[in-house]
Amino acid sequence: MAVNEQKQAFQLHLQELTDRNGGFLETVYALANGHFGVRASDPLQGKLQGSGGMPGLFVNGFYDFSKINYGEVYAGFPENNQTIAQLPDPRYLVLEVDGQRSDEVSFSTRVVDKNLDMETGLLNELFEITSPTGKILQLSLSSFASQADEAIYCVSYTIRPLNFSGSVKLYKQHPYIDQVFSKDGDIRAVSRNNLLDRQFIDADFPALQITTQRSQLGLVMMWRYLGEDSLVSFDSADGIPKYVMDLDLQQGLAESFDFGYSISQIHSLMDVAMNHNAYLKGANAHLQHHSFSSLFTESAHRMQAFWRDADVQIEGDPESQKGIRFNLFHLHQSAGHDGKTSIPAKGLTGAGYEGHYFWDTETFMLPAFTYTNPSMARAILMYRYHTLDAARRQAHDFGLDSGAMFSWRTINGAEASPYFPAGTAQVHINADIAHAASEYIQVTGDTDFLVEAGFEIILETARFWRRYGSFGVDGPQSGHFVINKVTGPDEYTALVNNNYYTNRMAQHNLRLAVLYARQLQQTHPNKLEELGVTEKELQAFSHAADEMYLPYDDELAVKMQDDGAFNLEIWPFDQTPRDHYPLLLHYHPLRLYRHQVNKQPDTLLSDFLFPEDQDIEQLKRDFDYYEPLTTHDSSLSRPIFSILANRIRAHHKAYRYIAESLLTDLNNGQGNSQDGVHVGSMGASWMEMTFGVAGMIRTQKDGLTFSPHLPSQWTALTFKIKYQGSQVSVHITRSQAIFKLVVGDAMTLHCDGQLVSLKAKSRTATVTLDEK
């Protein structure tokens, strides 16, 4: 591919997008770096009401509580919601033309162009602004969220008058309280987000302390002009610290101004050690010694390093190529890396799902990190470790005397799900986390993590299963370990007994606890003592796992979603209008729960995660049974279907699922991308390439095996993975798979039944692919 074409494949240009809705563009062009995210809103908008957008800065893990009001409250229901805070938009700029200010009267803004260079993380935008007096200005913005220093965001403004010469003032400020227009157009000042307090800090540059009232968190944000220009002055005379640019502009001539923001870590207001002045001094000195371009160069290098390991190249299908790149870009920029935060389901691109972390992180996003960026995967898992105490409290609330139960949706570790049948009852999240932790350990060989955190997570979750489940007393379940009253991944079925997926995952969780306990008995016996593990407990885990009840319909020879699943009527799909999907927005849950209808794969997810459980015939029967029942109302659904369709060799079908799911956000396929991107689905699209098209499977017995099949629409697929300290690149065409050892001395894997042995001296191996 020519260099230009390669560069082009990293650009996301406005012309490529069919949806031009303001909220949608704010989301897809949002920039983030794991610590914070900034939506690509109208820079003059601030928080002017009626402008339609949702501008703002979202800091990962910075939230406040709000009380959940229940009609009837049972013991143990979460008292509080946790909502990510919408902070001042660092792109915000106030213009003054002919004595009229854009924060007092509406100027019109037209989006002319936008382009995101995903290779470096630089966003370029062009707007045309018209003042109420008819003066037209071109405003261009270049911005990036630093990938090298997570505190830093930079924005450069270039302004050019198109139909006049004269005086224009710019203000770079974030007022103490938000200003909004009332219905009759008058300006009034109100605190729109009443959860937040903001205070200016006395300094030679603008700085704000932002605190939350109920969760008692704080952070500091400062901004600085990046340059020596005499046109810019700092002013705080009216109590609002700001930079003022008093310009005498010539028609057609441009002036540029660069600003750097520093956004501190979150601290607890109880933390007396937090010293704002020291932070601000350091942040100011750092920005003072840098320019927009030097900060950008550092950031772009880090972004390019990310692509070196994580890029997935699809040849022959530019749309899919763009889709996977866009997904990987957002996946990367959404991930908290401090061990105290995780990945919100909507990333840091919007307030959708209130900034909560779900099982999406471990089940759908983590594999991409585990195989391409293990240190990030470790940090993400450490977040769960740091919330183990909250999980222990939740297990206690469930009436259990030991173990830990992770929250279904949360920021601080405590449950924030107000609807427990489709929320808290999804106890499978416990086993999902244990599974992800174990995969990380197996793939990376990071036994330090096992000792430091992984084992405790796996043990405490196993203890939960041992207590939550019980041994059946009569009928076919007699003597078997049963787990009653749970909700599986399919949220259109709730509070069932023996959900196949949950039971199979719990079985795995119990076995993992025994496996790692045996390993630590040899290497770190103190760890077992410290955590109070006894031989009796391990035997109880093994017994429960061995006796785990897994519902199966002998007549249909299909795995049954739960005990009563097949007794229910099938949902009347032929009488359901197209615009009544997603069903949850149109039908009462009690109507859905009484039918066989799946929001997303449930039992099939277990088939995906445990490929050695069934032969291809069983998989086909399961697939054929559940596929027609599935609405894909969750964006997490199609990727799993594409992977399984590949496994059963329904390659055309697999491609249809891939093509749709790769473009979930770029095409606004779920119709709600304006609230934020679907990061779980983005992570799953990496799985579609590796576990699906390349047919990658990791088993304890064989290690990594591949069974590739390239869609006929593509000419090649290339990606790299890291495995136990080595890195291998995989290049798949219709007829060949080429494996190349990039890092490491030796690695063996299997491809289509052949042993592939890569060594320092013969780093490349080619396998001729069977016609599948």
Q: Cβ–Cβ contacts within 10 Å for residue 562, how many? A: 26
The contacts found for 576-585 with CB under 8 angstroms, 24 or more apart, are: 581/631, 581/633, 582/631, 582/633, 583/492, 583/631, 583/633, 584/491, 584/492, 584/633
Shortest distance (Å) from residue 361 CB to ligand BGC: 9
Distance of CA 180 to the CA centre of its chain: 31
- Which residue number, 601 or 711, has a Cβ lying nearer to ligand BGC? 601
| C-beta of 345 vs 379, nearer to ligand BGC | 345
Q: Which is nearer to ligand BGC, 298 or 354 (CB)?
A: 354
Query: Looking at 415, 491, 537, 660, which residue is catalytic?
Result: 491
User: Does an H or E element contain 731, and which?
Assistant: strand 726-732
Read off the tokens for 212. Answer: 């939350």
Using the minimum distance from each CB to ligand BGC, give the nearer residue, 343 or 765.
343
Return d(Cα 661, Cα 760) in angstroms, integer.
38
Handedness of CA 493, 496, 498, 504 (dihedral sign): positive
Residue 592 structure tokens: 């859905």
Distance CA 610, CA 438 (A): 14
Q: b/e string for 283-295 if b means 16 or more Cβ within 10 A?
A: bbebbeebebeeb
CB 175 within 8 A of CB 241: no
Task: State the burial class of residue 694 (Cβ atoms within 10 Å of its Cβ: 0-12, 13-18, 19+).
Answer: buried
Whether the bond between 582 and the residue before it is cis, its omega within 30 degrees of 0, is: yes
Hey, what amino acid is at 366? L
Q: How many residues does the chain have?
A: 772
Closest approach of ligand BGC to the CB of residue 489, in Å: 6
Q: At a CB cut-off of 8 Å and minimum separation 6, what does 94 contact?
A: 44, 46, 101, 102, 103, 170, 171, 172, 173
Of 394 and 634, CB closest to ligand BGC: 634
Question: How would DSSP label each residue in 255-286?
Answer: EEEEEEEEEPPPEETT-TT--HHHHHHHHHHH
Question: Is 491 known to be catalytic?
Answer: yes
Binding residues for substrate, as ranges, are 359-360, 599-600
Provide, rounded to whole angstroms, the least separation between the CB of residue 597 and ligand BGC.
13
Nearer to ligand BGC, 351 or 453 (CB): 351
Number of DSSP helices (H) and strands (E) in the chain, helices first: 21, 37
How far separated are the first and last CA of the chain, in Å rounded?
A: 28
CA dist., res. 432 & res. 509, Å (int)? 9
Note the Cα 655 to chain centre separation in Å. 24
Q: Which residues bind ligand BGC (CB under 6 A)?
A: 345, 353, 358-360, 489, 491, 599-600, 634, 636, 680
Instruction: Give 619 or 677: the residue with its C-beta nearer to ligand BGC.
Output: 677
Residue with smaller CB distance to ligand BGC, 93 or 592? 592
Q: Are strands 558-559 and 552-553 parallel, antiparallel or unpaired?
A: antiparallel
The token pair that represents 507 in the structure block: 């079985």
User: In the sheet where 746-751 sits, what is the strand order?
Assistant: 697-699, 703-706, 746-751, 754-759
Ramachandran region of residue 198, left (φ > 0), alpha (ψ -120 to 50) or beta? beta
In the chain, what's the furthest Cα-to-Cα distance?
89
What are 610's two structure tokens? 């445990």
Supply the minimum distance, in Å, between the C-beta of residue 363 and ligand BGC: 9
Distance CA 387, CA 418 (A): 19
Q: Computed from CA positions of residues 628, 629, 631, 637, in that sequence, does the dihedral angle turn out positive or negative?
A: negative
Contact partners, residue 322, CB within 8 Å, separation at least 6: 9, 12, 16, 666
- 650 vs 677, beta carbon nearer ligand BGC: 677
Report yes or no: 717 and 314 within 8 Å, Cβ to Cβ.
yes
C-alpha span between 297 and 121 (Å, rounded): 11
The binding site comprises 359-360, 599-600
Q: Contact at 8 Å (CB) between 431 and 424?
A: no
Closer to ligand BGC at the Cβ: 462 or 684? 684
User: Which is nearer to ligand BGC, 466 or 632 (by Cβ)?
Assistant: 632
Measured distance CA(454)–CA(460) in Å, rounded: 10
Closest distance to ligand BGC from the beta carbon of 366 (Å): 14
Closest approach, Cβ 353 to ligand BGC, in A, equals 6
Nearest to 37 by CA among 271, 229, 263, 259: 263
Residues 6+ apart with CB under 8 A from 541: 462, 466, 510, 511, 513, 514
**C-beta separation of 633 from 597 below 8 A:** no
- Catalytic (active-site) positions: 491
